């Protein structure tokens, strides 16, 4: 039996400051000598990068549909055995989505901390928090109020809150975490990111008495471990080359663990640095990221491009996922309208646009079962190639992303969560048909 103080940090909507507050709270508690682990609800790559930098530990996804109840339980129980505090950042608003953040909190008996941007309100904060508590209902651990203008403003907010702890306040910030079209900027691209995170930790005014009054949660670690079956060694002895740099950074830690659990050896290389695919690679994984920000470097990386063409010609299995598919196409038109030649394994042109082209949870039906994941992209692929399959949207059952298969290349905007169907994952990295 393991125990830790666990809270789910949510809000009424996106844009309330959940990630900023979660990062600040994690760094604050660590400075006080506590061991902290952070999780992120739902599919996300960018927020976890910031939260990982703030906490110093890998950030895993928790989602009752994509990750699954048993794997969520296993991840939480393992963390509770190792740390004092677990922070789970929610997605969007508390009740948005199916399953939503509130569903996750109720599944594990985790109380909710609501983050509210109080820049244009005062006592009404109390009404909103009360409504969020009673609508579900959920157990409410407290509220953290963001963008507090003054001591007088804080007093007015406190007057409006009834029977719920005011855990902390944060002032209007002079330094903040920058964003771009897919979300937050990757921490390695932010100058003095650790100084910013330290400033955030110093600026969150945490009531430690209120925080310590939140009771720890007991989690049965042995039960969680017993419910997780070992992954079959479907990739035993295979060397998988994975692109990893500022252009290709959108990879779940859990996906890497799933590959290793299946027996694969992982080797990382950087297309941005014109590093070729390792000669001994049995398979290649080009994940998502921000290739559209690095068109000149990727278009000019001839050693890397030639190694991709050589691997394709040798029928080495290649998974080109979202950003990966963007660079294995013939050309990529950036946001300024300039067309860049790319690897050219998949016929067609990728075009950046200013609005979302794909978003949400999706599933791919395969010979081995349902492979779950999501999509989130601002580009479109214009191609005459015929897909071998289409994903299905979780929200409404409509057709989702196309999956293209040419020789041993699998290309799609769909981000797969490998452990949702390890056998399908292993099939992608072999020469077998997916569906």
Which residue among the candidates 72, 258, 295, 322 is catalytic per the annotation? Answer: 322
Q: Coil, strand or helix: which one is 13? A: coil
Q: How long a stretch of residues is the chain?
A: 435
Exposed / middle / buried, residue 384 (Cβ in 10 Å: 0-12, 13-18, 19+): exposed
Count of CB atoms situated within 10 Å of the CB of 290? 20
Is the separation of the CB atoms in 61 and 44 below 8 Å? yes
100 is catalytic: no
Of residues 377, 234, 242, the one with CA closest to residue 320? 242
Left (φ > 0), alpha (ψ -120 to 50) or beta: where does 230 sit? Answer: beta
- The 10 Å Cβ neighbour count of residue 278 is 16
Instruction: Give Rg (Cα) of the chain.
Output: 22
Closest CA to 382 of 359, 344, 351: 351
Contact by Cβ (8 Å): 22, 87: yes
Long-range contacts of 96-102 (CB under 8 A, 24+ apart): 96/13, 97/42, 98/394, 98/395, 99/63, 99/64, 99/65, 101/8, 101/10, 101/41, 102/10, 102/136, 102/138
Q: CA–CA separation, 366 vs 209, rounded Å? A: 52
- CA dist 355 and 377 (Å) reads 9
The encoded tokens of residue 75 equal 């991840």
Structure tokens that stand for 367 in this block: 């010979």
Residue 214 to residues 5, 92, 166: CA-CA distances in angstroms? 7, 24, 12
Side-chain-side CA neighbours of residue 172 (13 Å):
7
Instruction: Label the pairing between strands 415-416 and 369-377.
Output: antiparallel
Tell the burial category of 245 from Cβ atoms under 10 Å away from its Cβ (0-12, 13-18, 19+).
Answer: middle
Catalytic residues: 322
């Amino acid at each position: 039996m393991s125990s830790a103080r666990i809270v789910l940090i949510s809000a009424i909507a996106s844009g309330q400051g959940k990630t900023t507050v979660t990062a600040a709270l994690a760094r604050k508690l660590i400075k006080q000598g506590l061991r902290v682990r952070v999780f992120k609800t739902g599919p996300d790559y960018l927020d976890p990068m910031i939260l990982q930098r703030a906490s110093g530990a890998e950030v895993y996804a928790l989602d009752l549909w994509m990750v699954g109840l048993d794997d969520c339980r296993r991840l939480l129980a393992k963390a509770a055995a190792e740390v004092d505090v677990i922070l789970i950042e929610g997605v969007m608003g508390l009740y948005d989505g199916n399953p939503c953040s509130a569903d996750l909190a109720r599944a594990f008996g985790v109380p909710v901390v609501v983050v509210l941007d109080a820049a244009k309100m005062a006592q009404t904060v109390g009404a909103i928090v009360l409504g969020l508590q009673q609508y579900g209902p959920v157990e409410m651990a407290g509220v953290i109020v963001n963008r507090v203008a003054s001591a007088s403003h804080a007093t007015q907010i406190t007057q409006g809150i009834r029977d719920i702890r005011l855990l902390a306040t944060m002032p209007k910030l002079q330094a903040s975490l920058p964003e771009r079209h897919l979300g937050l900027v990757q921490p390695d691209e932010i100058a003095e990111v650790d100084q910013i995170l330290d400033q955030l930790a110093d600026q969150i005014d945490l009531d430690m008495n209120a925080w310590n009054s939140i009771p720890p949660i007991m989690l049965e670690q042995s039960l969680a471990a017993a419910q997780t079956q070992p992954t079959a060694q479907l990739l035993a002895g295979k060397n998988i080359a994975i692109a990893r740099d500022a252009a290709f950074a959108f990879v779940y830690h859990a996906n890497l663990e799933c590959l290793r659990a299946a027996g694969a050896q992982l080797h990382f290389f950087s297309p941005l640095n014109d590093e070729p695919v390792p000669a001994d690679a049995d398979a290649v994984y080009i994940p998502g990221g921000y290739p559209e920000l690095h068109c000149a470097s990727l278009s000019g990386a001839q050693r890397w491009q030639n190694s991709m063409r050589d691997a394709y010609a040798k029928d080495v299995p290649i998974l080109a996922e979202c950003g990966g598919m963007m660079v294995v196409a013939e050309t990529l038109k950036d946001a300024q309208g300039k067309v860049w030649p790319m690897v050219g394994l998949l016929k067609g042109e990728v075009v950046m646009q200013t609005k979302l082209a794909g978003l949400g949870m999706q599933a791919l039906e395969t010979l081995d079962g349902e492979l779950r994941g999501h999509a989130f992209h601002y580009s479109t692929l214009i191609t005459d190639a015929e897909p071998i399959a289409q994903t299905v949207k979780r929200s409404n059952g409509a057709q989702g992303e196309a999956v293209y298969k040419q020789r041993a290349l699998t290309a799609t905007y769909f981000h797969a969560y490998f452990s949702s169907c390890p056998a399908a994952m292993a099939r992608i990295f072999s020469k077998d048909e997916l569906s």
